[in-house]
Amino acid sequence: MSDTIVVAFSNQKGGVGKSTLTVLLASYLYYEKGIKVAIMDCDSPQHSLVGERNRELKTVSETEHLAQMAHELLTQTGLQPYAIMKIPLEETMFRIRQYLSGDNDTQVLFLDLPGTMNNPNVLQIISNCDYVFCPMAACKYDIESTLGYCQFIHDRLMTMGYGNLKGVKILWNKVDARERTDLYNAYDEFMESIGLEAMKTTIPASVRFKKELSCNPKHQIFRSTVFPPSSAIVKGSGIDELAEEFLKLTGVRNG
């Protein structure tokens, strides 16, 4: 049996940043903090993270300076890119159990799930996670549906003690710095009144989240499954703070 914790970014709405935050947090924890991670990409049939990893490996193999960087990363740290597994959604429960009962040194297993609840597998999978983070953008309809979704998971799955859930947290994503923080604070207060909590870290809206690894040497690396994000661009992205808050919440430690 392993000590792996299972974590998912989840929301019944699509496009809220589940896959983006999964990659960014997994890579930051692995390449910067030395935490052993793996991702199960359960978002069938598109499996966007498996696709992203394959595109990156191709870009690295075809780009001299990136191939050199990959070589240096490997020789300096001994770190091969972490595993991203392609898992059909309907097999996910079985594959998680198999993974956890097998021999592995993974500390955090991330699940990338589809943006839909119209599938009984998803709720079962979520109740078997240790922690669930619900990304939420500051748009009225998103807020209402995300709060409803989170409250359901919190009240029905966590509080009733089904499965493994130890924490359900909202995570503000795509935050516009021009919007008033007292608006967010008011929502945070409301959430607390219904027993929900948001992560203290908020993730700003920024184009850097959209850009995959590029062969252009002038482009800084941020979102990547094979390299750590460059420190200059991490600053102000919220990812470093998210990682620290995540480690504190879960108690996961390097080594």
Ligand X SMILES: Nc1ncnc2c1ncn2[C@@H]1O[C@H](COP(=O)(O)OP(=O)(O)OP(=O)(O)O)[C@@H](O)[C@H]1O
Q: Which residues bind Mg ion (CB under 5 A)?
A: 18-19
- Smaller CB separation from ligand X, 151 or 206: 206
Dist CA 189 CA 204 (whole Å): 20
Residue of 151, 201, 206, 214 that binds ligand X (CB under 6 A) = 206
Supply the angle between the helices 48-62 and 18-27 in degrees, to the nearest 10: 50
List the interface residues with ligand X, window 150-179 (CB under 6 A): 173-174
Least distance between ligand X and beta carbon 215 (Å): 19
Element (DSSP H or E) covering residue 168: strand 167-172
Q: Which of residues 41-70 bind ligand X (CB under 6 A)?
A: 43
Q: Which does 210 bind (CB under 5 to 8 A by kind): Mg ion, ligand X, none?
A: ligand X
Window of 8-16, 49-57, 99-107, 247-255 that interacts with ligand X by CB under 6 A: 8-16
Alpha carbon distance 52, 112 (integer Å): 13
Reading the block at residue 219, the tokens are 């482009």
Q: Total residues contacting ligand X (rule CB under 6 A)?
A: 16
Quote the DSSP letter at residue 156: I
Binding residue for ligand X (CB under 6 A) from 7, 17, 36, 136? Answer: 17
205 makes contact, choosing from ligand X, Mg ion, none, with CB < 5 to 8 Å by partner type, with ligand X
Burial of 43 (0-12, 13-18, 19+ CB in 10 A): buried
Binding-site member from 5, 7, 8, 16 for ligand X (CB under 6 A): 16
Are 101 and 93 a contacting pair, CB within 8 Å?
Answer: no
- Are the C-beta atoms of residues 233 and 208 closer than 8 Å to each other? yes
Q: Which residues bind ligand X (CB under 6 A)?
A: 14-20, 43, 115, 173-174, 203, 205-206, 209-210
